[in-house]
Amino acid sequence: MQEGARTELLRILGEQGFRDDQESRITHSYDGTPMLQALPDAVVYPVDTAQVSAIMKVLARHRIPVVGRGSGTNLCGGTVPLEGGVVMVMHRMNRILEVDLDNLTATVQPGLITKDFIAHVEGLGLFYPPDPSSMAISTIGGNIAECSGGLRGLKYGTTKDYVLGLEAVLPSGEIIRTGGKLMKDVAGYDLTKLLVGSEGTLAIVTEATLKLIPPPAAKKTMLAMYADLYDAARTVSRIIERRIIPATLEFLDNPTIRVVDAYAGLGLPLDMAAILLIEQDGPPELVERDIGQIEAICREERAVRVQVAESAEEAQKLLTARRSAFTALARLRPTTILEDATVPRSKIADMVLEINRIAAKHAVNICTFGHAGDGNLHPTATTDARDQDEIHRVEAAFAEIFEASIRLGGTITGEHGVGVVKAPYLEWKVGAAGIEVMRAIKSSFDPHNLLNPGKVFAKETRKRVVIDRG
Amino acid sequence: MAESTLEKRGARTAVNGPEAGLTKLNPLADKLKLRLDEDQLTNCMRCGFCLPACPTFRETGIEAESPRGRIALMKAVADGLMDPDEAFETQMNHCLGCRACEPACPADVKYGQLIEQARDAIEDHTTSHRWWVKTVRSVMFKQVFPKQRNMRLLGGALQLYQRTGLARLARGAGAMKLLPRHLADMEAIMPAASRTGVVDRIGEHVPARGPRIAKVGLFRGCLMDVLFTETNVKTAELLATAGFEVVIPPAQNCCGALHAHSGEAEGARALARRNIRAFREAGVDYIVSNAGGCGAALVEYDHLLHEDVQWREDAAWFAQRVIDVSELLMRSGRVTELLAVGLPETRDAAQAASSEAGSRASAPPVADGDPRAGAVAGGTPIAAAACAPAAETITYQDSCHLRNVMRSAEAPRRLLQQVAGTCYTEMCESDRCCGSAGIYNLTQPEMAGDILAHKMEHANRTGAGVILTSNPGCLLQMKLGVKRHGRDAEVTHVVDYLHRRLRIQEAPRRG
């Protein structure tokens, strides 16, 4: 890093807040995305908005790129500093500034750990639904940048549905405030929603006002087990068709069941082709009624066994085990590449079949699990980064999965973000004109392309493989 | 090698910076490349699930202080992206080795093996040890721990120091002020050393009381048998009461845990072979440990000797039989029956407690007020217990290695919950390291001190008069905690406590 910029940053941050030693650079060169690594030139740890603003001014003057980072658990390469520069770690800005019990809102700093926040508001008798699988370590700021989903997205929506207002620092160092403790606000373009899911390419979020809701009075969790994959997938569409919206409706195929059980030791049925993990919450009568109806639908769709969790503790264990699925698949092969192609909910069974067909065609092993209830599947290739040939086949298979997803009316990513890994496919979903609009938005926020460069927009779009299937 | 791992879906991403393509000669880098298990390094897919489990990450919030960060550093060295410098060495030594990251890892990365491999390579090359550290290490690792006779001599010397008034003299003369505070504190809480070990006290053989369930070999430990001889004696007596025939093979020696954790793998292997021979010759059904740290080392002898063709099979035989004393007592059932019935004088208190429980059905939850309690505590959820006024409140601090390596977290808790006339209260974050971590509290006093301070906040909030542990290191550390930050609480080993509550008849003792 240029000596001038280094001195200025050190002056703002002190020894505690600025590091450019080998150890810090290596340990901020990756995130949860496989096979992706790039070293930053320095790592900074701001403590407040004023510091963030001052840092941004220095970086803008010296034209140094900056990547905001929470805990680095994202799966799209969102926090890998592809073009070097500075990684800005938000961990020291991790306070809950206020929980407003009159308005049912919370105002927090971005470095706050999601699970700590959820536990805190639950202690006050309130509920914050977004619960990405990494929530034990992910940060609210990271969730906002990626618009994280989770297991409760089906009924409660995702992060974007709970962000009411933001304070953010622009690349120029200017501080903007959007939205507020407001349930209605149409004053101009909705910059709040624009920043949520912008993957750190538009501004650095320094404060967020979040919506809280009353918690459900009761909940019940059940497992439905299937000898046939398609039956399980079809059940998902049937449940929605019958106008039941469960809080959680998760799908796990056989290899996923096996690795999850190897990790969590829950005694899951290892001989089943697939299981559905279903949770309903709400008033007790409604929960009873829905669970009864769901059970009946599962049986109609040839579930071999249906089992309702006996205690809250057992239910919690099942959900926690499900959250480990992605990493647990690494037990099979060292490298796991997962995607989150998402389709309309009615198409979930078709998508499961497509994934299996494509995997067979390219001779790659793809396990599938995911938030089936929102049409959001996580086909995961278990492979080995050291086997170049296989990696190429995995790549080809995923390109085809994206294509299939779009053909079914879906998208290339439901909740993980575009980052660097899906950038070459973005145009398939949004079209050339869509990309142009997005680029224009990017340059109006960040004219010098300093915020998380190399993300969202690809240098080149992948050629779309259109398969004529009659 | 580095480049190939960086290829991502057709788009090559080069690592920027001057480190790429490192060519400088660094013997430590070569040694690390050789020692580190490449598969384990690759298996870490950097999901970050280990971060909340790691005590040093939680204290600092710095990625490099986490298992994911440390593995990334190791991998960077193995990939030639980074030169292992002094900071690297410091970071590897900063890890407590508590291994809480292993049960947290869905991918089943063997972090414990990686950190030991890294330390082993570092130990061969380090230049940072001062001459006296080298001398002390050499004497302790080569002459004292491995040789029980020398261990005894050390015990004798310590006893002499403690008994002759030399200790008082030293303290009075202010000699302790010459030592760093953590060493002086340690000296003050050190239990009375003993010149005689468990075999000298009760012989090599204790018959089962009542019908014999199985024959077990007691692993007495090196330090354990000098500083906690009485616990060893009581372990044998408890086991005999539970229906086990106990033998104590005299040829056994130190488990080698401290060697392995400190990068002395060869020394650890030599000790392992001698232990395997001693217990194999004794023909036991189980090898019982009463120290989580030792047990964890013993249970991994199969891994330690997996490359040793001659010993591989015997090591597997040995590892399969290793079990913690609490686990075995639970399985026998006899002790739990005794505990549940209680002794005549404790039975009344127990009845009082249960009738009290009935009248206060909605007792407050046991976890204290920490907002993270429910979120991250891995401690076994225990139903809220209502305490009778007369009941003794007790709590349990996990031994990390017993919990994370031997995976015995339930057994000690279940046993303690069954002691009539007591009130078991779960401590918030009881599953987290206390900062003892072998000799970590001596080598990294600052971090160990911070961790201990937090630990004691939780311990104090339980209101327990007795804090129980399953490992000598944790026991001393918790004592230190009570001395520095605590309420007036007794710290004792689970075995000693159960023995006391059961008033077990003592075996005939010699001398």
- Answer yes or no: do A26 and B82 touch at CB < 8 A: yes
Q: Smallest CA–CA separation between B459 and chain A, in Å?
A: 21
Please determine, for residue A320, whether its predicted confidence score (pLDDT) is greater than 90: no
Q: For residue B320, what are the CA distances in angstroms to A131, B276, B291, B296?
A: 40, 12, 17, 12
> Which chain A residues have a beta carbon less than 8 Å from that of B384?
none
Which sequence spans correspond to the domains of chain A? 3-89, 96-211, 217-327, 333-470
Please determine, for residue A247, whether its predicted confidence score (pLDDT) is greater than 80: yes
Q: What is the CATH number of domain A217-327?
A: 3.30.70.3450
Please determine, for residue A327, whether its predicted confidence score (pLDDT) is greater than 80: yes
Q: What is the CATH number of domain A3-89?
A: 3.30.43.10
Please determine, for residue B352, whether its predicted confidence score (pLDDT) is greater than 90: no
| Domains annotated on chain B, with CATH | 16-125 (1.10.1060.10), 333-502 (3.40.50)
In angstroms and rounded to an integer, the radius of gyration of the C-alpha atoms of chain B is 24
Q: Say which range, A112-126, A297-311, B242-256, B473-487, has the weakest mean pLDDT.
A: B473-487
Choose, out of A29, A30, A35, A37, the residue to mutate when testing the contact with B (most B CBs < 10 Å): A37
Q: Smallest CA–CA separation between B166 and chain A, in Å?
A: 45
User: What are the phi and psi torsion angles at B27 (to 5°)?
Assistant: -60, -35
- Answer yes or no: do A136 and B108 touch at CB < 8 A: no
pLDDT at B429: 93
> Which chain B residues have a beta carbon less than 8 Å from that of A119?
371-372, 374-375
> Which chain A residues have a beta carbon less than 8 Å from that of B13?
36-38, 80, 82, 420
pLDDT at B149: 76
> Which chain B residues have a beta carbon less than 8 Å from that of A118?
375
> Which chain B residues have a beta carbon less than 8 Å from that of A382?
none
Please determine, for residue B7, whether its predicted confidence score (pLDDT) is greater than 50: no
Report the mean per-residue pLDDT for chain B. Answer: 81
Choose, out of A89, A137, A401, the residue to mutate when testing the contact with B (most B CBs < 10 Å): A137
- Answer yes or no: do B9 and A26 touch at CB < 8 A: no
Q: pLDDT tens digits for B281-314? A: 999 999 999 999 999 999 999 999 999 999 999 9
Q: How many pairs of residues across A and B have Cβ atoms under 8 Å apart?
A: 159
Q: How far apart are CA B494 and CA A99, in angstroms?
A: 43
Nearest to A334 among B6, B42, B64 (CB): B42
Nearest to A395 among B10, B17, B375 (CB): B10
Please determine, for residue B101, whether its predicted confidence score (pLDDT) is greater than 90: yes
The one-letter code for the residue type at B300 is E
- In 10 A of CB B511, how many CB atoms? 6
What is this model's ipTM? 0.94
Q: Are B194 and B155 a contacting pair, CB within 8 Å?
A: yes
Give the pair of three-digit tokens for residue A209. 């006002």
Q: What is the CATH number of domain A96-211?
A: 3.30.465.10
**pLDDT band with cut points at 50, 70 and 90 for residue B421:** confident
> Which chain A residues have a beta carbon less than 8 Å from that of B107?
327-328, 330-331
Q: Smallest CA–CA separation between A460 and chain B, in Å?
A: 10
Nearest to B8 among A35, A92, A120 (CB): A35
Q: How far apart are CA B238 and CA B261, in angstroms?
A: 31
Please determine, for residue B2, whether its predicted confidence score (pLDDT) is greater than 90: no
Please determine, for residue B449, whether its predicted confidence score (pLDDT) is greater than 80: yes
Q: Smallest CA–CA separation between A184 and chain B, in Å?
A: 32
**pLDDT band with cut points at 50, 70 and 90 for residue B344:** very low
- Answer yes or no: do A136 and B376 touch at CB < 8 A: yes
Choose, out of B12, B46, B372, the residue to mutate when testing the contact with A (most A CBs < 10 Å): B46
- Answer yes or no: do A331 and B107 touch at CB < 8 A: yes
Q: Are B176 and B187 a contacting pair, CB within 8 Å?
A: yes
- Answer yes or no: do A36 and B73 touch at CB < 8 A: no
Chain A residue with Cα closest to B383 = A313
Chain A residue with Cα closest to B39 = A334
If residue B94 lies in a helix (H) or strand (E), which one and from where to where? helix B86-94
Using the structure block, give the residue that is written with the tokens 């004592």: B479
CA atoms in the 13 A half-sphere facing the CB of B280 = 15
Q: What is the mean pLDDT of residues B380-394?
A: 64
Q: Say which range, B264-273, B362-371, B393-402, has the weakest mean pLDDT.
A: B362-371
CA atoms in the 13 A half-sphere facing the CB of B311 = 21
> Which chain B residues have a beta carbon less than 8 Å from that of A259?
106
Q: pLDDT tens digits for A298-319? A: 999 999 999 999 898 899 889 9
Nearest to B72 among A30, A73, A334 (CB): A30
Q: pLDDT tens digits for B257-268? A: 888 888 888 999
**pLDDT band with cut points at 50, 70 and 90 for residue B374:** very low
Nearest to B48 among A34, A71, A331 (CB): A71
> Which chain B residues have a beta carbon less than 8 Å from that of A131?
none
Q: Smallest CA–CA separation between B286 and chain A, in Å?
A: 25
Q: pLDDT tens digits for B109-163? A: 999 999 999 998 888 777 666 566 677 777 777 777 777 777 777 777 777 777 7
Q: Say which range, A96-100, A132-136, B20-24, has the weakest mean pLDDT.
A: B20-24
Chain B residue with Cα closest to A75 = B47
Q: Are A436 and A457 a contacting pair, CB within 8 Å?
A: no
Please determine, for residue A146, whether its predicted confidence score (pLDDT) is greater than 60: yes
> Which chain B residues have a beta carbon less than 8 Å from that of A128?
none
- Answer yes or no: do B19 and A21 touch at CB < 8 A: no
If residue B226 lies in a helix (H) or strand (E), which one and from where to where? helix B224-227
Please determine, for residue B347, whether its predicted confidence score (pLDDT) is greater than 60: no
In angstroms and rounded to an integer, the radius of gyration of the C-alpha atoms of chain A is 22
Chain B residue with Cα closest to A123 = B371
Q: pLDDT tens digits for A61-98? A: 999 999 999 999 999 999 999 999 999 999 999 999 99
The one-letter code for the residue type at A428 is W
> Which chain A residues have a beta carbon less than 8 Å from that of B368?
none
**pLDDT band with cut points at 50, 70 and 90 for residue B382:** very low
Please determine, for residue A140, whether its predicted confidence score (pLDDT) is greater than 70: yes
Domains A217-327 and A333-470 belong to one CATH topology: yes
- Answer yes or no: do B72 and A84 touch at CB < 8 A: no
The one-letter code for the residue type at B212 is R
pLDDT at B288: 97
Q: Measured on CA atoms in the order B237, B240, B242, B247, is the torsion positive or negative?
A: positive
Nearest to B45 among A28, A71, A327 (CB): A327
- Answer yes or no: do B73 and A26 touch at CB < 8 A: yes
- Answer yes or no: do B47 and A72 touch at CB < 8 A: no
pLDDT at B175: 62
- Answer yes or no: do B7 and A35 touch at CB < 8 A: yes
Q: How many residues does chain B have?
A: 511
Q: What is the mean pLDDT of residues A29-39?
A: 94
Please determine, for residue B173, whether its predicted confidence score (pLDDT) is greater than 70: no
Q: What is the mean pLDDT of residues A424-443?
A: 96
- Answer yes or no: do B87 and A421 touch at CB < 8 A: no
The one-letter code for the residue type at A322 is R
Q: Smallest CA–CA separation between A330 and chain B, in Å?
A: 5
Please determine, for residue B4, whether its predicted confidence score (pLDDT) is greater than 50: no
pLDDT at B506: 66
Chain A residue with Cα closest to B63 = A27
Please determine, for residue B21, whether its predicted confidence score (pLDDT) is greater than 70: no
Nearest 10 degrees: Cα torsion A342, A348, A350, A352:
80
> Which chain A residues have a beta carbon less than 8 Å from that of B63?
24, 27-28, 72, 89
- Answer yes or no: do A34 and B45 touch at CB < 8 A: yes
pLDDT at B386: 60
Q: Are A397 and A354 a contacting pair, CB within 8 Å?
A: no
Which alpha helices (DSSP H) does B300-444 contain, by range? 301-304, 312-321, 325-332, 334-341, 344-359, 373-376, 400, 410-417, 440-443
Q: Smallest CA–CA separation between A30 and chain B, in Å?
A: 8
> Which chain A residues have a beta carbon less than 8 Å from that of B95?
none
The one-letter code for the residue type at A424 is P
pLDDT at B219: 97
Q: What is the mean pLDDT of residues A112-140?
A: 96
Q: What is the mean pLDDT of residues A383-409?
A: 94
Which alpha helices (DSSP H) does A65-139 contain, by range? 114-123
pLDDT at B135: 72
Nearest to A324 among B16, B106, B371 (CB): B106
**pLDDT band with cut points at 50, 70 and 90 for residue B64:** very high
Q: How far apart are CA B57 and CA B113, in angstroms?
A: 19
Q: What is the CATH number of domain A333-470?
A: 3.30.70.2740
Q: Smallest CA–CA separation between A2 and chain B, in Å?
A: 13
- Answer yes or no: do A119 and B45 touch at CB < 8 A: no
Q: How far apart are the first and last CA of chain A?
A: 56
pLDDT at B261: 82
Chain A residue with Cα closest to B1 = A386
Q: How far apart are CA A224 and CA A303, in angstroms?
A: 6
Q: pLDDT tens digits for A328-358? A: 998 899 889 999 999 999 999 999 999 999 9
Nearest to B81 among A26, A113, A138 (CB): A26
Please determine, for residue B346, whether its predicted confidence score (pLDDT) is greater than 70: no
